[in-house]
Structure 1
């Protein structure tokens, strides 16, 4: 009978591998350490909550306002009605912003920010008038979005007056006053800066019949609010080409005209 082969003898002589060792559980074998860590975490969380909500260290004590041009800081702070003395973390900044826009229509946008540890900052952006509408002895300011946001006793400098001279046959019933005002605002936004400084009145006779009255008696037929940028470029070139003209027509920007001298 043949003896075992070399391979078989090697298999018999190969030592058995050590049995697998259980994973080291470390701190799991120490429940006291685990309990201490859990208690420490709870206490740290409770301390953080107390610091934010219960302590006197992080409370709203100062309210600052910036960015105003017409409004005063006092007006803004009063309208904001920030709950002074409340925990700074609990101050509702969204409600403050909404309250400011509701009470002060002159405000276009406002950022309400927490300034740790005791401040609330109100960063205001006011609406800018591009037109004004006469109402008796007062003036209603209209911004670039057509929003009538304030009534003032003194007309703002450099802002043209809107004059609506619309008859029923000219389409006022079709478009409505608000639509015509928005169209006028659209024109006011596109007027070249150099011309805007000289514009005294923006007249609206119909949706597609808008004209400008400039200082010195000069006039511009603008037409509708469409193709405003092209009309602005054409008007600038036309005024340079005919500086002594009294009347300019850019209602069709590809076929402009000027007259008078």
Structure 2
């Protein structure tokens, strides 16, 4: 006998295993459901049995050998490369209208900002003020008179210069045919003058005055060698003046240099022009019509001796002594 064991205990009992204990308890308790630990032990007690545990998918991935952690697999399904994309929805009319309004408002704000900037630059900062006046084309008319008539204020903004007013004042000067006033940025007002060119001389109460091609009589020194208009009042609106100047314009230069006087008489409402030439000769021109043809006939006709050359009918020119 083993020490500490009484004879009544009999032979030593073998210790039961966990699986046998579970089986015994199940038989005694009417098939009570084993716990999770008992199930695991029972599965392990079966020959070749091994608990199959589900694999955890939420466990973080182990880092790679180089210390970097692999990227987690995305659970989203990506469309195939060749899969057609869904069409984008068309914006509603209200959305399009709002977008247009917003664009217009933004454009107006931009233009307003630019206008304010230009205003400050041109008018307020003084960077583009008038510093001088440049006059061109003034030969017979003194330049000082042009500057005085222009009356340009130095120091005012160049953009605010009244160019039309300057041109109107300068055009009032005698001998000025036309005026063009402009701006030469950043600081100069330009005044380009075309002076009147005298083509004839008119008799006036103030004495002889030059007459330009438009029939304007203006106060200026009379150049020698100009033909004299011997009829009544001369002016740009006078029919006789227009007829005389048209004939002078049709003459070749060498013939015009021989003209001393131009007389116009009105017979039957049609002006009749007569030219007085050097060497006491006379040309009966007649009406202004066909002036170019008459001038072509007169040139060879003047090579013939005579005192009166009649080209009123260019088809039948005549020469009389």
Range into which the TM-score falls when normalised by the shorter chain: 0.7 to 0.9
The correspondence of residues 64-213 of structure 1 with structure 2, limited to 5 A, is 64-101=134-171, 103-136=172-205, 138-148=207-217, 150-152=218-220, 154-164=221-231, 178-206=238-266, 207-213=270-276
Aligned length: 219
| Cα displacement (A) at 1:21 | 6.2
Partner residue, 1:254: 315
Contact 1:128–1:144 under 8 Å retained in 2: yes
How many Å apart are 1:16 and its aligned residue? 6.7
- Name the structure, 1 or 2, with higher relative contact order (CA <8 Å, separation 6+): 1
Query: How large is the RMSD of aligned CA atoms in angstroms?
Result: 3.1
Q: Secondary structure at the match of 1:187?
A: helix
Answer whether contact 1:200 1:214 (CA < 8 A) is retained.
yes
Query: For 1:231, what is the secondary structure of its paired residue?
Result: helix
- Residues in 2 aligned to 1:249 and 1:40: alpha-carbon distance in whole angstroms: 75
> Is 1:138–1:151's contact at 8 Å kept on the other side of the alignment?
no
What TM-score do you get using the length of structure 2 for normalisation?
A: 0.60
Would you say the 8 A contact 2:174–2:219 is kept in 1?
A: no
Secondary structure in structure 1 of the residue aligned to 2:249: helix
Change (3 A) 1:18 1:77: same
CA drift of 1:59 comes to 1.0
Q: 1:145 aligns to what SS in structure 2?
A: coil
Structure 2 CA distance for partners of 1:165 and 1:256, relative to 1, 3 Å: farther
TM-score between the two structures when normalised by the length of structure 1:
0.72
**Residue 217 of structure 1: aligned partner:** 280
Task: Return closer, same or farther for 1:222/1:50 CA change in 2, 3 Å cut-off.
Answer: same
Please identify which structure carries the higher helix content. Answer: 1
Residue number among 57, 60, 81 corresponding to 2:130 in the alignment:
60
Q: How far apart in 1 are the matches of 2:312 and 2:195?
A: 33
* Alignment CA distance shift 1:41-1:187 (3 Å): closer
Shift of 1:122: 0.7
Distance, in Å, in 2 between the alignment partners of 1:202 and 1:16 is 98
Q: Secondary structure at the match of 1:205?
A: strand
Aligned to 1:100, the other structure's residue is in SS state helix
Question: Measured at CA, do residues 249 and 40 of structure 1 come closer, stay the same or move farther in structure 2, by a change above 3 Å?
Answer: closer
Task: Mark the structure with the bigger radius of gyration.
Answer: 2
Give 1:226 deviation, angstroms.
1.8
CA 1:131/1:41 → structure 2, altered by over 3 Å: closer, same or farther? closer
Query: Structure 1 165/252 Cα, relative in aligned 2: closer, same or farther at 3 Å?
Result: farther
Q: Check conservation: 2:239, 2:271, Cα contact below 8 A.
A: no
Looking at structure 1, the residues matched to 232 and 157 of structure 2 have their Cα atoms a distance apart, in angstroms, of 56
Please say if residues 165 and 205 of structure 1, whose CA atoms lie closer than 8 Å, have aligned partners that are also in contact.
Answer: no
Q: Which runs of 5+ in 1 are unaligned?
A: 1-14, 24-37, 167-176
Q: Deviations over 1:26-47 (max 9, x none)?
A: xxxxxxxxxxxx9998766544
* Structure in which a larger fraction of residues adopt strand: 1
Q: Gapped runs of 5+ residues in structure 2?
A: 1-81, 91-107
